[in-house]
């Protein structure tokens, strides 16, 4: 029983029992107590991982709640000082729990090399679940209150829920404070139509995670991503391409389930993906991939950097104004993903690509607003191919990245691509694209609901069968973004 409710992942049976109980209590208690129920459920969820995580989340909630109140009440100079205090407190916690062990290892390795230490010391800190996500949300709340974009919230329960609301605690999506607070206070009657939407999101999310992502993960040969130098170009290319669909479906699946579960409580969370593999440019891709993080980075990094640059030189054709803001933004994104140098390289490469595209748009030949179909397909293919290649440092460290890129120029014996090995990954990728095509018209997870009834029944039947078979497998791998 204890195992059933320990480290609740949102695809576990325990989680769905937990949600059912929480829903039951939520709709039974008087309306005024509903937010308290959500808060208690969120902390219970956190406790299933580790009690210290709940304490850290609570401390963060208290600090940000109080700092926001003070920022709202004080005059200009003190206000700025308190804002920076709040941001420093949030960032310090993140640096300590997420980055200390990651970065200290480089420091101790350097000491080790010059003989100043004989062992690589780490504090072996457990990274609190969701800390990367609720820290950014806390900062955005403080900044929004500071800028007077939103009124300060006097309810500690609402602020705590904003940071710790369990459907989005593990890996987002990032929600805007005011939007979330408004929903906590709104009168909503959940009817069958809303339930169907929520269950559709959960169903699609489970298919993405369990049937697509997990199926591919199990088929990827162990050595390919561990020693890429031992494999030839076709092996590396095929598995790397399929791995792109693992990351996508893993994260899009998580978001879809989180949004579906939240919808059952009458709270709509923002979307995170908009069929990113149909992007026609690099900027377009980042507007479709992890949208809530992209929006956060745009509002709190990109735009302030851009404004600062424009204050120095207001010309829109000045090259640094075009290149530096996306470069800085994507490097920050890289560091947010992890403190290792390869994440910085990953961010820098993506930032440079976006900068290149902005320069090209500014100085290059103008393309028609509606390019012909072949041009769109060509643009999509080139964009995705380039992005998939330059995203190697997202998965590999420096040495492995170089080995991987080197391997792409090595035509050797194909070791891992026999027919039986590629059938499941190819079918899984096909299913992923089919879901994207269905979702394209509405740009959400509800494409299934727009089909005629016979098609819905057909796809649901196949989907339920696939889902049942997928859940028969061994333990499900944790969500990739949960690790961030």
Partner 1 sequence: MKSLKIKLPLGGALFQSVIWLLFICIALEAFARTPAGGNFFKYESYGSSHPHFDPQVIRIKARKAQDGQIDCIILGDSQVLYGVDPSIVEQAYLEKTGQTLRCQNFGLGGLKPITAYPLAKLLIENFHPSIILFGTDLFDYTSVQAGSDASIMSSPWVKYQLGDFSIDGWLIENWNSYRYYLGMDRYLLNGEENANHIEANGHSLKFSAKTNMTQQEQVDYFDNLLDRPEITGEQLDGLHKLLALNSAETKIVLFETPVNPIFFTLKKFAYNRKVYPDFRNMLENEAAYVSTDLWLTQESLQIPEDDWYDIVHLNKPGTLYFSRLLGEHLSGITFAND
Task: Note the residues at the interface with partner 1 (CB under 8 A).
Answer: 26-27, 31-32, 34, 185-192, 195-196, 199, 218-219, 265-266, 418, 420-421, 423-424, 453, 456-457, 460-461, 464-465, 469, 472
Rg, the chain, Cα only:
23
Least distance CB 33 / partner 1 (angstroms): 10
Closest CA to 140 of 112, 168, 177, 114: 177
At its nearest, how many Å lie between partner 1 and the CB of residue 213? 16
**Residue 114 or 419 having the CB closest to partner 1:** 419
- CA-CA distance, 191 to 211, in Å (whole number)? 29
User: Which residue, 23 or 69, has its beta carbon nearer to partner 1?
Assistant: 23
Q: Rounded to the nearest whole angstrom, what is the least distance from the CB of residue 127 to partner 1 in the complex?
A: 30
- Dihedral of alpha carbons 165, 168, 172, 176, sign: negative
Q: Which is nearer to partner 1, 38 or 353 (CB)?
A: 38
User: From the CB of 238, what's the least distance to partner 1, in Å?
Assistant: 15
Euclidean distance between CA atoms 275 and 123, whole angstroms = 40
**Which residues, in sequence order, are CB contacts of 161 under 8 Å at separation 6+?**
35, 38, 39, 42, 180, 184
Q: Which is nearer to partner 1, 188 or 382 (CB)?
A: 188
Of 63 and 477, nearer to partner 1 (C-beta) is 477
Nearer to partner 1, 63 or 417 (CB): 417
How far is 446 from 443, CA to CA, in rounded Å? 8
Compare residues 3 and 124 and give the one whose CB is closer to partner 1: 3
Q: For residues 208 and 174, what is the distance between their CA atoms, to the nearest angstrom?
A: 20
In whole angstroms, how close is the CB of 292 to partner 1 at the nearest point?
23
Closest separation in Å from C-beta 235 to partner 1: 15
* Cβ 185 to partner 1 shortest distance, Å: 8
The CB-of-421 to partner 1 minimum distance in angstroms stands at 7
- Maximal C-alpha separation, the chain: 71
Long-range (24+ apart) CB contacts under 8 A made by 92-99 are 93/56, 93/59, 93/60, 93/131, 93/135, 94/131, 94/132, 94/135, 96/125, 97/56, 97/125, 97/126, 97/127, 97/128, 97/131, 98/127, 98/131, 98/132, 98/339, 99/339
Is the Cα torsion angle 371, 377, 378, 382 positive or negative in sign?
Answer: positive
* Nearer to partner 1 (CB atom), residue 388 or residue 451: 451
With beta carbons less than 8 A apart as the criterion, state whether 104 and 122 touch.
yes
């Amino acid at each position: 029983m204890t195992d059933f409710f320990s480290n609740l992942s949102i695809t576990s049976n325990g989680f769905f029992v937990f949600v059912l109980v929480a829903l039951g209590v939520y709709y039974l208690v008087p309306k005024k107590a509903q937010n308290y129920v959500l808060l208690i459920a969120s902390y219970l969820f956190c406790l299933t991982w580790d009690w210290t995580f709940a304490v850290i989340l609570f401390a963060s909630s208290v600090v940000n709640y109080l700092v926001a109140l003070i920022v709202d009440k004080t005059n200009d100079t003190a206000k700025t000082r308190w804002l920076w205090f709040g941001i420093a407190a949030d960032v310090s916690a993140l640096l300590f729990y997420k980055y200390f062990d990651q970065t200290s290892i480089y420091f101790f390795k350097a000491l080790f090399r010059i003989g100043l230490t004989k062992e690589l010391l780490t504090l072996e800190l457990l990274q609190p679940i969701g800390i990367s996500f609720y820290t950014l949300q806390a900062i955005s709340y403080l900044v929004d209150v500071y800028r007077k974009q939103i009124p300060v919230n006097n309810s500690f329960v609402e602020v705590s829920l904003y940071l710790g609301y369990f459907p989005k605690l593990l890996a987002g999506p990032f929600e805007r404070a005011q939007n979330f607070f408004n929903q906590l206070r709104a009168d909503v009657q959940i009817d069958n139509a809303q339930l169907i939407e929520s269950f559709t999101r959960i169903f699609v999310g489970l298919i993405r995670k369990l049937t697509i992502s997990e199926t591919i993960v199990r088929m990827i040969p162990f050595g390919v991503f561990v020693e890429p130098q031992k494999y030839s170009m076709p092996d590396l290319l095929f598995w790397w391409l399929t791995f792109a669909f693992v990351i996508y479906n893993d994260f899009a699946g998580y978001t879809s389930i989180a949004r579906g579960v939240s919808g059952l409580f009458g709270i709509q969370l923002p979307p995170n993906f908009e069929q990113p593999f149909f992007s026609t440019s690099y900027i377009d891709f980042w507007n479709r991939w992890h949208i809530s993080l992209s929006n956060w980075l745009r509002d709190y990094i990109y735009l302030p950097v851009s404004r600062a640059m424009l204050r120095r030189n207001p010309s829109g054709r000045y090259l640094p104004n075009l290149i530096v803001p996306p470069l800085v933004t994507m490097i920050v994104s890289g560091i947010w993903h992890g403190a290792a140098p390869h994440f910085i390289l990953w961010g820098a490469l993506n930032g440079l690509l976006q900068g290149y595209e902005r320069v090209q748009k500014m100085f290059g030949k103008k393309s028609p607003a509606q390019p012909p179909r072949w041009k769109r397909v060509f643009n999509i293919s080139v964009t995705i191919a380039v992005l998939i290649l330059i995203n190697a440092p997202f998965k590999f460290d420096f040495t492995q990245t170089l080995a991987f890129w080197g391997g792409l120029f090595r035509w050797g014996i194909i070791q891992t691509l026999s027919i039986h090995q590629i059938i499941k990954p190819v079918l899984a990728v096909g299913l992923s694209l089919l879901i994207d095509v269905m979702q394209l018209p509405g740009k959400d997870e509800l494409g299934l609901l727009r089909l005629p009834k016979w098609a819905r029944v057909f796809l649901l039947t196949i989907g339920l069968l696939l889902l049942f078979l997928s859940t028969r497998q061994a333990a499900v791998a944790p969500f990739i973004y949960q690790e961030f």
